[in-house]
């Protein structure tokens, strides 16, 4: 095994958390100088790439334990005054506290302790996707059919499909409720949540038992929502030079059904950078869409997950990869991968991040580069037959990650600097690298994780 892989596996090994003698998850970062205490927690979203590694290495027990424990910690949540208890289902993170007498206790954060008090909407979706990956990798269908797992899926779908003050098929969520877990003007209908929502709807259709009558109403609603969500995202989030021209000449203030500009997007909101930046044979899904608002920023993870899960059409997926290819310096540069492009600067940064010093331009969530995004990029590229891009990104990562001790993120327009407040030994930086290596060596690993199947299902529709 090459030294860089050995080092990545060592980071993973040292990150394991146990409870009552069983491995149940991995800490976010094994850096004793990490700036926030909760980096020693097991985050649901961070565990996903650890879980994929364990599934591909034929060590599924830790994943199974994790899936059970993260359901169980729901019972530990405290009531928030003035709130009717909602089945918040999945925490952002949890940890094991060992008392003096040696007894152990699970502590979970449902957003009630997190910095900025943000609720993790993505956790419950990642949980369903991990159940699906576990079943595909192990063939243990009985696990998903257990009553507590079926109930978990029903509860999650119940929350997502419940009617609110909404007229769109997409999900309305607060700022910072996913990988970007600070104020970054990502409230509303952010792409990453919609891609995860889509994939968890697909996974639920597959996992819910149809011999159980309790599941039928949810299954019906899920199938309908999938259809409308797919059409809506493919049509209205999509941006390529043709669409940009249409938006540039949009009529506004149109009342009634069947308007091209039903959201009343004002052409004046098209930012200058996008017009010359978007190449002719490329396109992407915009970051957010709501009444009078199109966020033109490019968000990597949402676009990559859309490709992986099959939310985009084949043509759209190819065009997103063309964008990476032709804007390599902006989106990959010295470290794969930019979390979003471009950064918010000046007054916009002040107003929309609340002058957040951690999210200054080209740092952290505001245009920083995150090694963890490597796995999703390589998987999406390989899936679409762009192995060349996957190999190129892997080479860039290989040159630095091990030598820099697996940082959490990088700073700078091209990602040349180790993030000012980045942890070292960040578990999901190391696991993304291991996964990238596995995907290159054996492309069928994608199918084993249920990533390939979701794609085929959509294509044959």
Which positions lie near ligand GLC, rule CB under 6 A? 28, 43, 45-46, 179, 181
Q: Which CB, 178 or 455, lies closer to ligand GLC?
A: 178
Q: Which CB, 327 or 338, lies closer to ligand GLC?
A: 338
Q: Which CB, 11 or 144, lies closer to ligand GLC?
A: 11
- CA separation for the pair 449, 226 (Å, rounded): 21
Q: Smallest gap, in angstroms, from Cβ of residue 54 to ligand GLC? A: 18
Q: Smallest gap, in angstroms, from Cβ of residue 337 to ligand GLC? A: 14
Q: Which CB, 180 or 446, lies closer to ligand GLC?
A: 180
Please provide residue 23's backbone torsions phi and psi, each rounded to the nearest 5 degrees: -70, 130
Q: Smallest gap, in angstroms, from Cβ of residue 41 to ligand GLC? A: 8
Q: Smallest gap, in angstroms, from Cβ of residue 94 to ligand GLC? A: 12
Q: Which CB, 204 or 353, lies closer to ligand GLC?
A: 353
With a CB cutoff of 8 Å and minimum separation 6, the contacts of 99 are 105
Q: How do beta strands 22-26 and 340-341 pair?
A: unpaired
Q: Smallest gap, in angstroms, from Cβ of residue 364 to ligand GLC? A: 8
Q: Which CB, 125 or 226, lies closer to ligand GLC?
A: 125
Q: Which CB, 136 or 365, lies closer to ligand GLC?
A: 365
Q: Judge contact between 133 and 447, C-beta under 8 A.
A: no
Q: Judge contact between 375 and 439, C-beta under 8 A.
A: yes
Q: Smallest gap, in angstroms, from Cβ of residue 245 to ligand GLC? A: 36
Q: Which CB, 197 or 236, lies closer to ligand GLC?
A: 197
Q: What is the number of the residue whose Cβ is closest to ligand GLC?
A: 28
Q: Smallest gap, in angstroms, from Cβ of residue 115 to ligand GLC? A: 8
Q: Smallest gap, in angstroms, from Cβ of residue 28 to ligand GLC? A: 4
Q: Smallest gap, in angstroms, from Cβ of residue 264 to ligand GLC? A: 32
Q: Smallest gap, in angstroms, from Cβ of residue 237 to ligand GLC? A: 22
Q: Which CB, 179 or 382, lies closer to ligand GLC?
A: 179
Q: Which CB, 8 or 179, lies closer to ligand GLC?
A: 179
Q: Which CB, 187 or 232, lies closer to ligand GLC?
A: 187
Q: Smallest gap, in angstroms, from Cβ of residue 409 to ligand GLC? A: 9
With a CB cutoff of 8 Å and minimum separation 6, the contacts of 313 are 234
3-state SS of the chain is CCHHHHHHHHHHHHCEEEECCEEEEECCECCCCCCCHHHHCEEHHHHHHHHHHHHHCCCCHHHHHHHHHHHHHHHHCCCCCCCCCCCCCCCCEEEEEECCCCCEEEEEECCCCCCCCCCCHHHHHHHHHHHHHHHHHHCCHHHHHCHHHHHHHHHHHHHHHCCCCCCCCCCCECCCCCCCCCCCCCCECCHHHHHHHHHHHHHHHHHCCCCCHHHHHHHHHHHHHHHHHHHHHHHHHEECHHHHHHHHCCCCCCCCCCCCCCCCCCHHHCCHHHHHHCCCCCCEECCEEECCEEECCEEHHHHHHHHHHCCCCHHHHHHHHHHHHHCHHHHCCCCCCECEECCCCHHHHHHHHCCCHHHCCCECCEECECHHHHHHHHHHHHHCCCHHHHHHHHHHHHHHCCCCCCCCCEECCCCCEECCCCCCCEHHHHHHHHHHHHHHHCCCHHHHCCHHHHHHHHHCC
Q: Smallest gap, in angstroms, from Cβ of residue 114 to ligand GLC? A: 8
Q: Which CB, 36 or 262, lies closer to ligand GLC?
A: 36
Backbone region of residue 109 per phi and psi (left: phi > 0; alpha: psi in -120 to 50; beta: other values): beta
Q: Judge contact between 427 and 44, C-beta under 8 A.
A: no
């Amino acid at each position: 095994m090459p030294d860089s892989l050995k080092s990545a596996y060592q980071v993973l090994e040292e990150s394991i958390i146990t409870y009552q003698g069983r491995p149940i998850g991995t800490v976010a970062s094994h850096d004793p100088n990490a700036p926030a205490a909760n980096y020693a927690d097991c985050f649901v979203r961070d565990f996903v790439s650890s879980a994929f590694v364990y599934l591909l290495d034929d060590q599924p027990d830790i994943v199974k334990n994790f899936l059970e424990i993260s359901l169980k910690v729901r019972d530990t949540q405290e009531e928030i005054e003035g709130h009717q208890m909602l089945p918040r289902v999945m925490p952002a993170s949890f940890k094991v506290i060992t008392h003096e007498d040696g007894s152990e206790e699970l502590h979970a954060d449902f957003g009630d302790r997190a910095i900025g008090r943000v609720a993790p909407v993505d956790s419950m979706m990642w949980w369903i996707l991990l159940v699906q990956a576990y079943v595909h990798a192990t063939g243990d269908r009985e696990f998903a059919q257990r009553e507590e797992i079926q109930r978990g899926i029903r509860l999650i779908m119940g929350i997502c499909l419940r009617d609110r003050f909404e007229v769109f098929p997409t999900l309305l969520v607060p700022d910072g409720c996913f990988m970007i877990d600070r104020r970054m003007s990502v409230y509303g209908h952010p792409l990453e949540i919609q891609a995860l929502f889509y994939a968890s709807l697909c996974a639920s259709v597959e996992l819910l038992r149809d011999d159980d009558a309790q599941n039928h109403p949810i299954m019906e609603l899920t199938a309908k929502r999938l259809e409308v969500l797919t059409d809506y995202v493919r049509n209205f989030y999509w941006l390529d030079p043709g669409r940009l021209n249409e938006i540039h000449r949009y009529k506004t203030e149109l009342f009634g059904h069947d308007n091209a500009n039903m959201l009343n997007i004002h052409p004046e909101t098209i930012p200058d950078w996008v017009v010359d930046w978007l190449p002719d044979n490329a396109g992407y899904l915009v970051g957010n869409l709501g009444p009078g608002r199109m966020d033109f920023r490019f968000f990597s993870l949402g676009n990559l997950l859309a490709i992986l899960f099959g939310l985009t059409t084949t043509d759209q997926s190819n065009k997103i990869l063309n964008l990476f290819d032709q804007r390599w310096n902006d989106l990959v540069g010295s470290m794969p991968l930019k979390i979003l492009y471009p950064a918010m600067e000046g007054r916009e940064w002040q107003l929309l991040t609340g002058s957040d010093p951690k999210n200054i331009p080209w740092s952290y969530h505001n245009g920083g580069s995150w090694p963890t995004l490597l796995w999703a990029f390589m998987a999406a590229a390989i899936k679409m037959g762009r192995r060349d891009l996957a190999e190129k990104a892997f080479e860039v990562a290989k040159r630095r990650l091990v030598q820099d001790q697996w940082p959490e993120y990088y700073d700078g327009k091209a990602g040349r600097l180790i993030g000012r407040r980045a942890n070292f030994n960040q578990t999901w930086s190391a696991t993304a690298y291991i996964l990238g290596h596995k995907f290159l060596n054996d492309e069928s690993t994608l199918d084993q994780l249920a990533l390939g199947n979701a794609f085929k299902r959509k294509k044959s529709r």
